[in-house]
Amino acid sequence: MGLLGRDVPPLIRAVQSPDPELRFVATDTVLKLAAGGTFRGASYVMKELAYFAASEGKAGALVADPVLSHANQIASYLKEIGYSRVDIVSEGGSLLETAPRTPDYEIILVSAGIQRPPLNLTLQRLRAEPRLAGVPVLVYADPDWLPLADATVRSIPSALSVAVPSDPQDLAGLIARAKMVPTVRSVSIDQRLEWARAAMAWFLVFVEHPPEGISRMEIESAAISALEVPQLQELSLEILGQLATPKSQSALVEAVSRNDWPIALRVKALGAFRKAVEKRGVQLTTQQILQQYERYNQSTQSPPEVRKILGLILDYIEAPTQVQAVGIQAKE
């Protein structure tokens, strides 16, 4: 994944730093200096930007165990002690593929019996990835496997070998120990969300003419995923309104129709849909349009402001060249 060659500029090299704060600052600085132009390492910089944008603002953990029942037990402990995102993989290769996708993994737990590749190679490759270099790793093992685990982690920074946790409180104590290892680099949820907002703001800048290293489709995918993150929703709506693709328009009408969103945010989603229709016309399928009519027809008992925004979706669909300002007094 790294950039090769001795003549790579120091700032670009910093984008590969194991220090997440330095990596973000370098990424942000490179983009500011480039001012929309091309530069060496652009592909890597944009991939790093997408990585920072992927935060969901959750405490995440990743469990790697070849025995699903064992992995599920560890996962249940993690959820009980406050980890709201827990993912499970069964092989070392899957761990190496999954772990670098999100900055939200605060702890990685690996069974000493992991294979494909085996434990030592899995941990070595894990530590070779800059995004994962400072994430604490707990290698857990039954008594028969514990000597192997102990021997393996001696040469792996930010890793501890432990007996299989017996209950949630035991696991919480082990994770606390792992996070105290000097080489661990922890990033708070608030900080991850701040970086994600900054990354999404860059995506809004790049939405019309993405630079090398990222496509409009990847920006769209990031924006749709970010609709589930309250701190990123408004930026995501702006991006989708600018993209105005069939997938973006579909996501916007779904957002307008979400009863779990405050009316003010649904109005913003409606405004983004209006802009998308003005830009590219209606890109919804017949089935999606019929679904919106059905939603409106079923909204007779809904608050007036909800029925109003559902009706405006239909107005924009029926007369896309004559769309009017939203004109709703939003209520929280």
Res. 332: pLDDT tops 70: no
Res. 36: pLDDT tops 70: no
Res. 324: pLDDT tops 50: no
CA–CA dist 215, 197 (Å, integer): 19
pLDDT band at residue 266 using 50, 70 and 90 as cut-offs: very high
Determine the pLDDT at residue 41: 82
> Cα dihedral sign for 57, 61, 67, 70?
negative
Joined tokens for residue 223 = 């924006």
Determine the pLDDT at residue 34: 82
Q: What percent of the chain has a predicted confidence (pLDDT) above 90? A: 86
CA distance readout (Å), 109 to 63, 77, 146, 177, 276: 5, 12, 14, 13, 44
pLDDT, one tens digit per residue, over 40-61 is 788 889 999 999 999 999 999 9
**Residue 64 near residue 95 (C-beta atoms within 8 A):** yes
Mean pLDDT across the stretch 244-250? 98
Determine the pLDDT at residue 42: 85
Mean pLDDT across the stretch 188-211? 96
**Residue 63 near residue 71 (C-beta atoms within 8 A):** yes
Mean pLDDT across the stretch 283-307? 97
Joined tokens for residue 21 = 């704060």
Res. 2: pLDDT tops 60: no
Return the half-sphere exposure (C-beta side, CA atoms, 13 A cut-off) of residue 171. Answer: 25
CA 119-121-127 angle, 5° bins: 100
> Cα dihedral sign for 25, 30, 35, 41?
negative
Determine the pLDDT at residue 3: 43
**Who has greater pLDDT, 39 or 119?**
119
Give residues with Cβ within 8 angstroms of 308, minimum separation 6: 328
Determine the pLDDT at residue 211: 87
Res. 109: pLDDT tops 50: yes
Determine the pLDDT at residue 213: 86
pLDDT, one tens digit per residue, over 65-92 is 999 999 999 999 999 999 999 999 999 9
Res. 325: pLDDT tops 80: no
Res. 297: pLDDT tops 50: yes
Determine the pLDDT at residue 30: 92
**Who has greater pLDDT, 212 or 164?**
164
Joined tokens for residue 210 = 């993405």
pLDDT band at residue 37 using 50, 70 and 90 as cut-offs: low
Res. 119: pLDDT tops 50: yes
Identify the structural domains of the chain with CATH numbers, from first to last.
60-179 (3.40.50.2300), 197-322 (no CATH)
CA–CA dist 238, 313 (Å, integer): 17
Instruction: Give the burial class of 72: count Cβ atoms within 10 A of its Cβ; 0-12 exposed, 13-18 middle, 19 or more buried.
Output: middle
- Using DSSP, how many helices (H) and how many strands (E) does the chain show? 15, 5
Determine the pLDDT at residue 320: 58
Determine the pLDDT at residue 154: 95
pTM for the full predicted model? 0.91
Nearest to 53 by CA among 205, 185, 242, 201: 201
**Who has greater pLDDT, 56 or 324?**
56
pLDDT band at residue 326 using 50, 70 and 90 as cut-offs: very low
Res. 313: pLDDT tops 50: yes
Res. 103: pLDDT tops 80: yes
Give residues with Cβ within 8 angstroms of 265, minimum separation 6: 233, 234, 237, 255
